Amino acid sequence: MNKFNTFIEDVRSEFKWKGFLTVIGAFLFSLSIVGLHGVVKNQFTLPVAEALGVGKAAVSSWDSFAKASGIVTAALIGTIYKKLGPRWLAIVAGLTVCLGYVIVATTNSLNLFYAAGFLIGIGQASAGGLMFFTIVKPWWNRAFGTFAALCGTASGIGGVLFVTTVTKSITEGGYQAGAWKVAILTIILSVVGGLLMSESPNDALRNQAKAEKEAKARGEVINKEKKKVSDTGVPALGYADFLKTPITYIIFLMMIMSTFNVATSLFSPMAEWKGYAEPNVVGGAALTAYSFLLIWTKLGAGTLRDSMGMKIVLPIMYIPAITCICLNLFTTLSSNMYTYVCALMAFSGTATQLLVGFVSIQAFGKYFNTKVHGMTVAVFSAAGIVIPPLRHLPYDLTGSYSITLIVMLAFAILSWILAIIAINMGRRYQAKLDADFEIEKASVS
């Protein structure tokens, strides 16, 4: 039986309707926040600046407030998830984002606009920390990559579905009308998505929470020490456990580098640097091509991860990125060619952020849980505060994006190497934990 047929059999063996509906719920939740807010938020900068009579930089600072609250939320998402579970966490996250946009829709105060950003950041970090890596993984083991990637396509689909309609609302009714539309769409999608979700019986964090609650109800003293477990379950590792292993820091470093390599903000500036007559038009075409292509790359990466393994996924993701960075660095392209080359180059950033999650899951195997992913999202949010200006700084100093592209090239190659190192270290780490916890039958991840 070839690998693809094995993958189909794995899906069949793991299929449960609750797990399948949870995937749909995770997709809708991702669409409500990552695919909606994450795509359209920049459409509010100019109209809000004009309406309030302030600079665009002042308005765009709302995203800094969002990232600040997002760092704390993402770092604690494992603890929050353990208490609330997937359904209520999704609904509460949707409510915070919805409330943020209600504030935007009803205020003309820049300070309240920042408060809205703070609330939105809580919900957005919950989406990044919860989403598919938390609620889908316990339901699907061998076929996880495919369904996680399916949820991940929400970011690209959101760009296709929502940018035009929200922009039209802003144009016709001002930023308030656009904010009301985002608020309504967010709450509908997130609540429906949350209601479709169910807890998996294999969810280590939720099982631990239930066991502790039952022990407390019986009046027992909860033993915080790690306990030996049988082959029917695994311990829910804590933050300290993950922070003790170098694998976690490799994952953090990969995420920081992928944050720098999110090339979408460079499309138009680089088109201007290359001397195209209409750089915004050329850059916009590249962004549209990228959004459409991203849907299929994420889905393809997930399916290949399950059917062929990470050794196949890594070169498929990194070779196009490395090639296209080199083309931008060393050659002059026609505007049409530039569009597709930049779209492919963006894989070294946004698409491979999904790959960082895949590497983390491969490295930690059955011991992976949302705590390590939450910390990774916190690192991503922190990097997002300081990295964007660093992409443009070399151009401001030299008038050239060559240095930026050289850094991106180095990061893409190094990320590939680090991914291989993390996966290899992970095998040894999982074997050690199996021995420590006397787990004889290691489940496949």
Identify which has the larger pLDDT, 254 or 36. 254
Q: Are residues 154 and 283 in the same domain?
A: no
| Domain CATH number, residue 124 | 1.20.1250.20
pLDDT of residue 193: 92
Residue 168 has pLDDT above 70, yes or no: yes
Q: Are residues 399 and 438 in the same domain?
A: yes
- C-alpha dihedral sign at 394, 343, 260, 247: negative
pLDDT of residue 239: 87
* Mean pLDDT of all residues belonging to the chain: 81
Structure tokens at 143: 């076929």
Q: Are residues 311 and 396 in the same domain?
A: yes
pLDDT of residue 119: 92
Answer whether residue 220 is part of any domain: no
pLDDT of residue 429: 95
Answer whether residue 32 is part of any domain: yes
Please name which of 197, 183, 118, 95 lies closest in space to residue 151, comparing C-alpha atoms: 197
Tens of pLDDT, residue by residue over 175-194, are 899 999 999 999 999 999 99
Calculate the alpha carbon distances from 298 to 29, 85, 151, 154, 294 in Å.
17, 26, 9, 10, 6
Identify which has the larger pLDDT, 353 or 123. 123
Answer whether residue 222 is part of any domain: no
H-type alpha helices, 308-369: 310-330, 335-345, 350-364
Which of 19-33, 135-149, 414-428 tops mean pLDDT? 414-428
Point out the domain boundary residue: 150, 174, 209: 209
Percent of the chain with pLDDT over 70: 90
Q: State in Å, rounded, how far the first CA of the chain is from the last one.
A: 19
Please name which of 429, 145, 425 lies closest in space to residue 310, comparing C-alpha atoms: 145
* Average pLDDT of the residues in 99-104: 94
Q: Using a cut of 0.85, tell me whether the model's pTM lies above it.
A: no
Quickly list DSSP for 29-79: HHHHIIIIIHHHGGGGHHHHHHHHT--HHHHHTHHHHHHHHHHHHHHTHHH
Q: What is the 3-state secondary structure (H, E, C) of 284-308?
A: HHHHHHHHHHHHHHHHHHHHHHHHC
pLDDT of residue 363: 93
**Counted domains in the chain:** 2
Q: Contact 180/100 with Cβ under 8 angstroms? A: no
Q: Domain residues for 333?
A: 233-445
Tens of pLDDT, residue by residue over 255-297, are 999 888 877 777 778 888 888 888 877 777 777 777 777 777 7
Burial of 397 (C-beta count, 10 Å sphere; 0-12/13-18/19+) = exposed
Q: Rounded distance, CA 112 to CA 131, Å?
A: 28
Q: Are residues 237 and 159 in the same domain?
A: no
Q: φ and ψ at 290, to 5 degrees?
A: -60, -45
Q: Are residues 296 and 332 in the same domain?
A: yes
Q: Are residues 204 and 301 in the same domain?
A: no
* Average pLDDT of the residues in 345-354: 69
pLDDT of residue 221: 64
Answer whether residue 218 is part of any domain: no
Q: Rounded distance, CA 399 to CA 404, Å?
A: 11
Q: Are residues 152 and 258 in the same domain?
A: no
Answer whether residue 414 is part of any domain: yes
* Average pLDDT of the residues in 311-327: 87
Q: Are residues 269 and 380 in the same domain?
A: yes
Q: Are residues 240 and 294 in the same domain?
A: yes
Tens of pLDDT, residue by residue over 376-423, are 888 887 887 788 778 888 888 898 989 999 999 999 999 999 999 999
Residue 163 has pLDDT above 80, yes or no: no
Q: Are residues 65 and 172 in the same domain?
A: yes
Residue 445 has pLDDT above 70, yes or no: no
Please name which of 256, 237, 246, 200 lies closest in space to residue 78, comparing C-alpha atoms: 237
Residue 170 has pLDDT above 90, yes or no: no
Q: Are residues 171 and 82 in the same domain?
A: yes
Answer whether residue 246 is part of any domain: yes
Q: Are residues 324 and 269 in the same domain?
A: yes
Structure tokens at 254: 């990969």
Answer whether residue 159 is part of any domain: yes
* Average pLDDT of the residues in 120-145: 75
Query: DSSP label at 278?
Result: S
* Average pLDDT of the residues in 76-90: 84
Q: Contact 103/112 with Cβ under 8 angstroms? A: yes
pLDDT of residue 43: 76
